[in-house]
Structure 1
Amino acid sequence: MGIKFGEKLRNARLQHKMTQAQLGAGKYSTSYISLLETGSREPTMEIISELSARLGMDREVMESWNTPVSPDEAEFVLLEHRARQSYTAREYTDAEASAAEAAVVALRLKNASAWWNMMFLRAEALRDQGRFEEYRAAAEEVLAHPLTEESLALKVRAETLVANAYLGLGRLHLAVDHALTAVELGGDLPPHSLIQISALFALVASLAESGQLEEAWRTCQTLSAAVAEGAPRQTAGNAYWAIGNVAFKRQDIEAGLENHQLAAQRLLPASDIELWARFNKASASMRLAAGVVEPETLECLERAELALSVIGGTLNDKLELQLIRARWLHLNGDVEAALEQLRPVEANRDALPPNFQGELDLLSARCLMGLGRGTEALEQLRRAQMVFAEAGAPNRAAIAIELATEIRAANR
């Protein structure tokens, strides 16, 4: 697709003093017009005919926007194609590099829509490599771009992108702030908008990680209603996954198991094995955190380990799975094996987000307590309390304080 189309469509719309909603009224959603303008969707001949008529221009003129005419445009098209193909193939390093190159070419072309689209893709590729600080910087750059302010849909997408970046970094209060902004802005989008659903995902996760469980549960009800009818299978699966996570955190085991079962019915390995792996890893983690040590929990853990052995994964993925395996061993009474399982995780703790570092310290302390090594456990708990407090998770910090108080009382 020629990169001129989205930019020229936006300019033509603005010249006619039309909003995206007005241009698409009765036929195309606001979010779909936004996707056309950012180059995320390719216009068909039917769409070109309809939009050219609404803008009062010759169809042939609009058709000409869809053809690359300069060497820079041709280079951009090749780089964009490579970036998207690499991302689809989960070759995230190449996807990030190609998207970054494409964004540079877009700047030369003075094409804001093309730049925005490629920077967004670059941020997602950085996220999927676990390079969260670079991801945050790229997401903030997208949010600060003038084009973002011109479109409600782009603004919601950018705020969601930044929220997820701060969530990955464990800076939970900032994640909540940006996710709240995204959801509030997204309230003006069409009902059941996938852009708004993505914002709700970010808000649920941010609230839950920061310990604001009742607010997270209320947001879950909104998310559940948004995917109740007509949502794509995978989107609905992700929603039930998120809702189940919050239920487990609230110790509502029945609701947690029910929603994760609904998610498992929709997130299938044949459709997306990487997503299936992440879901099983998260489900095992949530079940164990809630004290559910049934055979189904071990099955989730083993499925995640198997999938990761097939697809590879980031260092973070491997460390998180080792942490989950250690929690399983601890809950089943094999404390020494659990502590041994945590050694390689501790050796790579700096690669983990702060909230996971806190969980590592908390679990290490529990294991040490089980072995009667209270003095060492106190040091782990002190570090856990500090990490959780800085990450904006006071409820988890309070658990560290309670355990430390228990140790000191036993030593008196």
Structure 2
Amino acid sequence: MGIMNQPQFGQKLKAMRVASGMTQTALAGNGMSTPYLSRLESGARPPTEKAVAYLAERLDVPLDAFAESEQGSTKTAGTRTEPASLACALAAAASGQARDLELLEEHVAADEGKNPFLDWQAQWMLADFKRTTGDHEAERGYLRQATGLSDRLALPELRVRARTRLARCLRALGDNEESRLLAAEALTIARDHELTVADTAGTLLVLVSAEVESGRLADAEAHADELLAMVSDETGPLPVKALWTAATLHVRQGDPAQARSLLAQALERLDSREDLVLWVRLRLAAASLSLQLEPAETEAAAAWLDEATPAVHLIGAPQQRQELRALRAHLAFHEGRTADARALHDSLVDDQVLLSFRDRTRLAILHNRLLFHEGRSGEGSAGLRALAQQAQVSASLDLAAETWRILAECLSGQGGG
């Protein structure tokens, strides 16, 4: 069988690269220029046999992964041309179009694990799609499948990446204990197989966050120190994320000065032209941390939100738009603008809430604090108690402690922000 033609070749190449977690630079390595690889992925250059052999070796896939199907690459269903195999469906789904991703789901179900490597890539891509839409329940299902397939393939890189992503997803859903255990397992695999800094640091990012959430601050501090030392000579988003994670730890430890210093370093290291999505996320995180300090630093939070707002409206996913609105509600409350806080809160509740477990809990805490202001202290007290108990059950002990503290302040008449 011959090599598939463009643009199908480029679409499939990109899908396989993204699924493997590699950047274009990493995949190109020393044997190919990154601009040439970019032109292959875009369909602007036809693939040569030498290039295909090199890329197959780099991706650790057989040569026939890039071969044209004997039956042709598509079949017609009514007036719709649909991929005739999981491989073709995977290539088509690289477009990111919802219909192509829906077709990929159908092919994954029909494939029944006949090609575990392609199946892993499909599960990974579908999980990423569900994450961007805020559907973490569906994301979790695909990532569990990807984790099982990575064990079947016995590839340590895939085992680490699947567990790391699943751990991050579980944190968003509020299952903090399983998240922590999975991240610790991923770290062990990464160390045992001496994987790259990117893979090992990725596990530490999730592990530190889970340890902070579960109140294991000594463990979190040791892992955060290891993480910062590991990425000290790195460039790009990795050291930025490490500094951000360490700053969050120091907020929980009651060390706002060190938290501000680390966050300032993270903000200085990232230009919006390098990674606009991370640039936005970092500013939303800076605003959130500013509001979690005692007392809340409202001027700093307002500045970060004002800076992030244009970019959120320009490129932000629905979940990021909700995060921005939720932070605006918290800011209004801390500034004493309780009517504005209530209006912003209610506008969020009227939508399908896409926020993470922690952000949803904080939004519910705000609702109950507002109930105290509205003369409904009995409802507010019961609501805060229920939220604290829910956080304890999810092993989010840091969030539970915060909720109990806020309840005590409200009952003593000091919970007005």
Per-residue CA deviations over 1:287-317 (Å, capped at 9, x if unaligned) read: 2111442533212112332222112422x33
Q: Which residue of 2 aligns with 1:129?
A: 133
Alignment of 1:112-123 (within 5 A): 112-123=116-127
Alignment equivalent of 1:240, drawn from 227, 240, 243: 243
- Whether the 8 Å contact between 2:213 and 2:398 is mirrored in structure 1 is no
User: 1: distance between equivalents of 2:65 and 2:140?
Assistant: 33
How far off is 1:172 after superposition? Answer: 0.9
Flag the 1:191–1:115 CA change in 2: closer, same or farther, 3 A.
closer
The amino acid that maps onto 1:378 is S
Q: Which residue of 2 aligns with 1:97?
A: 102
The amino acid that maps onto 1:328 is L
- Whether the 8 Å contact between 1:209 and 1:393 is mirrored in structure 2 is yes
User: 2: distance between equivalents of 1:228 and 1:95?
Assistant: 40
How far off is 1:77 after superposition? Answer: 5.5
The amino acid that maps onto 1:67 is A
- Whether the 8 Å contact between 2:213 and 2:399 is mirrored in structure 1 is no
Q: Which residue of 1 aligns with 2:306?
A: 302
Q: Which residue of 2 aligns with 1:389?
A: 392
Q: Which residue of 1 aligns with 2:80?
A: none
- Whether the 8 Å contact between 1:355 and 1:391 is mirrored in structure 2 is no
Q: Which residue of 2 aligns with 1:70?
A: 70
User: 2: distance between equivalents of 1:234 and 1:279?
Assistant: 11
The amino acid that maps onto 2:391 is F
Q: Which residue of 2 aligns with 1:357?
A: 360
SS at match of 1:392: coil
- Whether the 8 Å contact between 1:211 and 1:396 is mirrored in structure 2 is no
- Count of matched residue pairs: 358
Q: Which residue of 2 aligns with 1:287?
A: 290
User: 1: distance between equivalents of 2:203 and 2:72?
Assistant: 35
The amino acid that maps onto 2:366 is L
Flag the 1:181–1:96 CA change in 2: closer, same or farther, 3 A.
farther
- Whether the 8 Å contact between 1:99 and 1:119 is mirrored in structure 2 is no
How far off is 1:126 after superposition? Answer: 1.1
Per-residue CA deviations over 1:367-392 (Å, capped at 9, x if unaligned) read: 44456543232133123223312322
How far off is 1:400 after superposition? Answer: 3.2
Q: Which residue of 1 aligns with 2:33?
A: none
Q: Would you say 1:328 and 2:338 are equivalent positions?
A: no
How far off is 1:101 after superposition? Answer: 5.4
Flag the 1:43–1:317 CA change in 2: closer, same or farther, 3 A.
farther
Q: Give the gaps of 5 or more residues in structure 2.
A: 10-28, 31-46, 75-82
Flag the 1:287–1:407 CA change in 2: closer, same or farther, 3 A.
closer
Flag the 1:311–1:63 CA change in 2: closer, same or farther, 3 A.
closer
Q: Which residue of 2 aligns with 1:273?
A: 276
The amino acid that maps onto 2:181 is D
Q: Would you say 1:84 and 2:94 are equivalent positions?
A: yes
Q: Which residue of 2 aligns with 1:213?
A: 217
How far off is 1:361 after superposition? Answer: 2.6
Flag the 1:204–1:329 CA change in 2: closer, same or farther, 3 A.
same
User: 1: distance between equivalents of 2:408 and 2:113?
Assistant: 63
User: 1: distance between equivalents of 2:378 and 2:137?
Assistant: 35
User: How large is the RMSD of aligned CA atoms in angstroms?
Assistant: 3.5
How far off is 1:167 after superposition? Answer: 1.0
TM-score scaled to structure 2, two decimals? 0.74
The amino acid that maps onto 1:319 is Q
- Whether the 8 Å contact between 1:210 and 1:393 is mirrored in structure 2 is yes
- Whether the 8 Å contact between 2:130 and 2:139 is mirrored in structure 1 is yes
SS at match of 1:307: helix
The amino acid that maps onto 1:100 is E
User: 2: distance between equivalents of 1:144 and 1:208?
Assistant: 27
User: 1: distance between equivalents of 2:343 and 2:51?
Assistant: 63
User: 2: distance between equivalents of 1:304 and 1:95?
Assistant: 32
How far off is 1:250 after superposition? Answer: 2.1
Which one has a larger percent helix, Structure 1 or Structure 2?
1
How far off is 1:122 after superposition? Answer: 1.4
- Whether the 8 Å contact between 2:211 and 2:220 is mirrored in structure 1 is yes
Q: Which residue of 2 aligns with 1:59?
A: none
Query: Which is worse superposed, 113-122 or 351-360?
Result: 351-360
User: 2: distance between equivalents of 1:302 and 1:50?
Assistant: 44
Q: Which residue of 1 aligns with 2:165?
A: 161
- Whether the 8 Å contact between 1:335 and 1:371 is mirrored in structure 2 is no
Q: Would you say 1:172 and 2:182 are equivalent positions?
A: no
The amino acid that maps onto 1:80 is L
- Whether the 8 Å contact between 1:82 and 1:98 is mirrored in structure 2 is no
Alignment of 1:42-53 (within 5 A): 45=50, 48=53
- Whether the 8 Å contact between 2:241 and 2:266 is mirrored in structure 1 is yes
SS at match of 2:192: coil
How far off is 1:179 after superposition? Answer: 0.9
User: 1: distance between equivalents of 2:164 and 2:287?
Assistant: 26
How far off is 1:203 after superposition? Answer: 1.0
How far off is 1:284 after superposition? Answer: 0.8
